[in-house]
Structure formats: C-alpha cells, structure tokens
Chain A
Amino acid sequence: MTPDANRTVTPGQVAADTLRIDWNPGRLGRSKPRNCVFMLKRSLQLLLCGLTFSCAVSPVFAGFVPEQAGVEVLGDHRDRNWFWIWGSNAPNMVDGRAYLFDDNGRSLGLLSTGMWSNGLVLSHRRDEIYASEIYFSRGVRGKRTDVVTVYDARTLSPKHEIEIPSRRMSALISSGLSVLSDDERFLLVVNFTPAQSVSIVDLENRRFVSEVATPGCASVYPAGPRDFYAICGNGGFFHLRLDDQGQVVLQERTVPAFDPLQDLLLTTGSRVGDTWYFVSQKNNAYALKMTTEGVVPVHHWPLVSDAERADGWGIAGNHGTALHERSGRLFVLMHKDKPENYQKPGTEVWVFDLKTRQRMKRIELNEQSTAIGVSQGEQPRLYSLDWVVPMPKLFTLWIYLTQGDAGLMPLLRQGINLYDADNGQHLRSVGDIPLGFMNVVMPW
C-alpha cells in the first residue's frame, strides 16, 4: 500500500490530478519531439469527433426557437362558470386579495385590493371590475387614501382610480357596502367613521360626485336605475334617488319593514327582479319588494320547522345565501348549533322554492362552509367556500378530542368545493388557497 492509498480524494481533486497528467506529459518521461506528434494526433482525433457530433445534432438545433416570456390575457368570462373568492385576508389585511378560478378549479389570476378589502363589484355591461380600496402611505400608517379602482376584466390590470373620501366602512360582512346603480353609471360606497354616510361615484365621468349622510343606516340595495335603499337600525330603509349627474334628488326614510327588536335581517340580500330576499337571525326568510315607490314587505316564512328549530338547525356562515334567478330557488347555508353561532360554518345547504316557499332539497356539504354562491347559466354550480383541516380525519379527531377547537384553529386552511346546484352532486374540490380569511364566493 502506497502512502497515498489512504488519502481521501474528492471528485475535484481527481479532475485536477487528471489535468496535471495530460498537460504535463514530461512527468511521464516522454521526449519532446514524440510528445508533439502525440499531441497533433490527439488534436486531429478530437476535431473529427467534434465534426461528427456537430453533423449528428445539427438538425435538432436548426428548428429551435427560444421561448418568449409573456403575460396571460383572459377571454370572455360570461357563461363559463368562473368564480371569484375574496375576504378581509386576515391576519394579512394590508394585502387584500381576490382570487379568480375557472370551472375546473384552475387559478386564473388575482387582484390586489388594498387594506381590509370589501371585495369586488363585477360589472355586467362593461368588461370592468370595481374595487373600493384603502391605502396608507406607510403601510399601516401615514396618509390614508381611499380610491375606487377600475380594473380591466381581461387583463386584470388597473385602468384608472377615482379618489373618494377616506371614510369607507370596513366590516366582516361586505354585502351592500359597494354597489352599482342598475344602469351601472354610479357606484355607491358606504362610509363609517362611525358617522354613517354614502359616497357617490360617477363611473362614466370618473369622478367622485358627493357624499350624503345616512344616519343609522348601513348596507345599500339598488332598486332601479337611480334608486337605492340603505337598511337602517329601526327596521326601515333610507331611500336615495340620484339625478343624471349623481346628485341626490330624493332622500327619505321608509316606515319599518321589519321589527329589529324581534328578528334582525342579515345584510346578505339576494335579488330577483324588484324583490330582495333576506334571511334573519331567527331563521326566517323575508321577501321585500323594493321599487322607486318604496319598500313593501311581500311575505316572510320560516326556514325551519318547529322540530328542526328545537333540534338546533339554523342559518350559518358569513355570506350564506345565494339565489338562482331563472328557477326561483333560494339557497341557504345551514347548520345545527346554538342560535348565537349563526355566523359559524355551515354543514348543509337548504334549497327553497320562492313561489311555494317550501324546501325542495337538502344538500349535505363535504366540508364546513363559510360562504356559498350559485352560478346563473346552464347547469348551475353551487360553490362552497370552506374551512378545512388538511390532514387525515382520525388525526383531526384526535386533536379535537385532546385540545378542542383551540387545537384545530391554527391548522385550518381554506378550500372550495363545487356541486351541481340542481342535484347537489359533488363535482370537484379546489385546495391550496393561500392562508388569509376569505368569506365570499361570487360567480362571475
């Protein structure tokens, strides 16, 4: 065994040694003239070898065209069962987001919508999306600027901004906080400082028009080309009518349409024609006809039977209602829990016929749902935005039994499940939603 036999040699050292032998042949004891002939032969061999290799592979490289990096542009979204999800994105509220998915659950893009986003307003007449956004010059401090950002619906890029008073309301339930007039000329944004008011924005002329006080009232519901109703604490509505310039030409309070001391309507209304449907904390449905003439209660009915009520069934979720207009069906997210947990996730969707006001179907959901939506096209989809624990059920159960809710809370993630809205059959799941509180799913 030579002294070098025990040396630990790395691959790099081996290569270096090899080079030393090739390029210092004198160490091998050869004479200089013989060495030159050897090198010449070696070079010719290498040259021939290279030429042969080049001939063999040249057809492959001849057709190669380098890739160009690009940016996707969306096609027409209509009748394709695309859908958005959005929410406050807590605990990262500074970085508000809305995600777009196609019918297969493929992610199509994202909009960044400022601090404590109240979501998107989707135009039906223009290829545009509107978002009422809040920004601070130093992230969470500095000068506050509120804007309505107009996004291109195909490029998902901002087209322009309209600055509005820095008073926009931020809340867990975003329904009715930014709404379009029926002709999509004006956008109304609800303010809270805690004084309550509404900012009026002219989308055609890209300008803030004015602010009108709406004391004691909050979420707004359009009811005609220029008419709106804000729901108020006394059970009445605050009627606003705009002229063609966006100036308020009528503001009056309606008589109470419901009794807020007996039963509170949730603000997540759904509309068919001139009738808005609401569900209430005490598990009733209310149909309110809202026209330019006023608000008229049409009827209300219980969502649960006495037996179901006694069994603990009630409304659930953050945005737990949806409506399929053509078939006249109201979808309501439900669960079995204590009445005060009416915003906790739901386990079933109950489907009601708006004509007969009878329940048509119960759809059992795969996961705990915080929001639902229904598409309006052929073969409508029922979308469910869910809370999930992405681990085996047995393991989840073990954590729940040993640590309770507190143990599961840090593990929660969000996902989406798609169902056939007609028969309730589960179609597919979408996972891997980035961490951040999302509580609205909206068909586009």
Chain B
Amino acid sequence: MAIKWFDEAAEIFSRRIARNTSRRGFLGGLGTMMIGVGATTLLPVFRSGAFAQTSPGLVESGDPNSCDYWRYCAIDGFLCGCCGGTVNSCPPGTVRSDITWIGTCRNPSDGKDYVISYNDCCGKSNCGRCVCQRDQGDTPLYRPQSSNDLNWCSGSLADMPYHCSLSVVIGVKE
C-alpha cells in the first residue's frame, strides 16, 4: 500500500516537472550551473590546503615584521607577525578571512613575481602594532579584488572586526 502511494506521488511529481520544463530549459539551467561551478574557482576564496604553510621552495630575505619586507608591496594594515601571528598565520583566537585582496610582489631573493593573498585576521580589536601601508597595484573600492582599502573581514566567519593582515604567497608568475 505504501509502495503504491509512493509510486503515484512520484508519477504526479514527474508529470508536473515534465509539463513545466522543456529540454532546452533544462540544458540552459545545466549550462548555467556548470559556468557557475567553473567561475567559483576564479573567486579569491581561500581553499583549504592551497596555502597557510610556508612554501618549501621559497627563498626569502629580510625582516617579516618590517613594512619594507617584499611580500607587503600591496598591504594596508597591521602586520600579524607583530600581533602574535606570523606572516601567514593569524594570532591566537582570531578568525582568518577566506576572501581577500590580491597583490603581485617581486621577491628580491630570486627576482620572480609572486601572487600574494592578503587575508585579514578578524574577530578582535585592531592589533595596533606594525602598521604598514604600501599601495602597489592598489585599486579603488569598485575593483575590490585588488583593493586594500576594504575591510576583508566583512566576508569572514567572525564578521567585520579587523585585527591584522597576513601576506600569503599563493602563486608565482612564470
């Protein structure tokens, strides 16, 4: 009995879908979904494992807590290394923002250009130490992907309270 009821319900449901959709519409929807899936990979979203640990092959020199350090060419904020974190890890108790702005900085040690993700660390008051503003490639708010004037904690799980900024090397320009 129960099975019969289930069969009838499935039939009604299938017929309703068939009446309200077309093959072209279905293909259009599928295409939109696939484009969406593809586009997601273009967004500057942190993907677990993509970074957050120092790249083993990366040769660097200089003081990571100095504003002159090569990774900071497009940063604007407090350096997390001066706040209980490091250049690529947030201080204890803060929340790393997953959505960031991007800069491209030249590493003087090997002369190569690297893509830097400036993740903010969020959920506490401003660190207030080692403030650093360098605007290489900085863009206004209407081109947010490379704007360091925005509060990128806005997209974090801790919401918008801003603490400090990381500089994570996520790619190399070949």
Contact = CB atoms under 8 A, between A and B. Distances in A.
A409 interface: yes
B110 to A, nearest CB: 22
A170 B133 contact: no
Given A93-B162, A218-B144, A192 B150 contact: yes
A115 B161 contact: yes
A274 B172 CA distance: 46
B159 A170 contact: no
A171 B124 CA distance: 17
Contacts of A171: 141, 149-151
B130 to A, nearest CB: 9
A116 B142 contact: no
Contacts of A230: 142
A170 B151 contact: yes
B64 interface: no
Interface in B19-48: none
A140 interface: yes
Contacts of B85: none
B114 interface: no
Nearest to B147: A171
A169 B135 contact: no
A233 B161 contact: no
Interface of A: 90-94, 115-116, 134, 136, 139-141, 144, 166, 169-173, 192-194, 216-219, 230-233, 260, 264-267, 340-344, 405-406, 409
Contacts of B142: 216-219, 230-233, 267
Given A170-B151, A340-B136, A144 B126 contact: no
Interface in B133-174: 133-144, 148-152, 154-155, 158-162
A345 to B, nearest CB: 11
A120 B149 CA distance: 19
Given A91-B128, A409-B131, A140 B141 contact: no
Given A264-B143, A343-B138, A116 B149 contact: no
B149 A173 contact: yes
Contacts of A342: 135
Interface of B: 66-67, 76, 78, 99, 123-128, 131, 133-144, 148-152, 154-155, 158-162
A114 to B, nearest CB: 11
B140 A265 contact: yes
Contacts of B141: 169, 171, 173, 218-219, 267
A194 B154 contact: yes
Contacts of A340: 134-138
Contacts of B66: 406
Contacts of A193: 154-155
B140 A267 contact: yes
A442 B67 CA distance: 31
A169 B140 CA distance: 13
Contacts of B131: 90-91, 409
B160 A173 contact: no
Contact of B125 (A140, A218, A344): A140
B79 to A, nearest CB: 11
B143 A260 contact: yes
A406 B67 CA distance: 8
14 contacts: A90-B131, A93-B161, A94-B161, A115-B160, A144-B160, A171-B149, A192-B144, A194-B152, A233-B142, A264-B143, A266-B140, A340-B135, A340-B138, A406-B66
A94 B125 contact: yes
A134 B158 contact: no
A240 to B, nearest CB: 15
A91 B159 CA distance: 17
Given A116-B151, A193-B155, A173 B161 contact: no
A216 to B, nearest CB: 7
A227 B141 CA distance: 21
B163 to A, nearest CB: 9
